[in-house]
Structure 1
Amino acid sequence: MKTLVRASVVLALLAAQGLANAGPRYYHHHHHHRGPGLGGLVLGLAVAVPLIALANQAEREVVYVPPPPPPQPVYVPQPVQPVYVQPAPSRAVPIIYPRNGQSGAQLEADSRECNRWATTQQAAMSDAGVFQRAVEACMDGRGYTMR
């Protein structure tokens, strides 16, 4: 490409000089022709200047520089917020009434047995409500009323 542009510039300059030199010549015995004159110079410059600028532009190498890739998102771990579980409202300690005239000692023995039995029920150890209902069911079965 550069060679083609340079050759075009040289050919255009030669053609411009030839055009400027062409035309009628008046030779008088007392004048000697000294070159193309002002018209040839103007025409030569009018053709040469844009071609020289074109040649200079062609010599510049165009280098494509791709834009930088977009920044990758950076994972910033967020602090883990503790989750507070509100415990189930505990019911007031029930008052146990014997329905069949059981003694205090019998009430203590039945209460221990029902608490022991309630721990064997599914989910009773992880859920206080399940445990409490199991104890109440057991005490009801042994003849007690709970309020």
Structure 2
Amino acid sequence: MKLLPRTLIVSALVLAHGFAAAGPRHYEPPRHHHHHHRGIGLGGALLGLAIAVPLIAIASKADREPEVVYVPPPAPLPPPAPVILQPLPPSRGEPVIYPRNGQSAEQLEFDRRECNRWASTQQSAMNDASVFNRAVDACMDGRGYTLR
């Protein structure tokens, strides 16, 4: 039995005995010739048992080996799905851009940046390079450039 449960049981029994023994005392001689029994009495015995029995049960439970619970390992994860890469269409070379309305080189650079920005907002343009390129070409054409 482990030390703490044993100490609790002994302490409870001593305490119960003390409560039972602390009952009323008669300090004057008895008037009748009754036989006074000494000891803890029935109340003390019941109180001692009421306290000791649960403590004994706790102590015996504390003495048992801990129950070993088997937890099966998790099931293995399925293998990841293969990644299928789509072949990219052959990249086109940079188109040659001719200003139709006499635009300067600075204006050409500004229009190219603006058309790239606008093309990136078009549906599917960020997932498909050909859609992006067609959007840029249409934008540049609309701003007065010829692409070859």
Shared fold per TM-score greater than 0.5 = no
Question: Which category of TM-score, normalised to the shorter sequence, fits these structures?
Answer: 0.3 to 0.5
TM-score (norm 2): 0.44
Bigger radius of gyration among the two: 1
TM-score (norm 1): 0.44
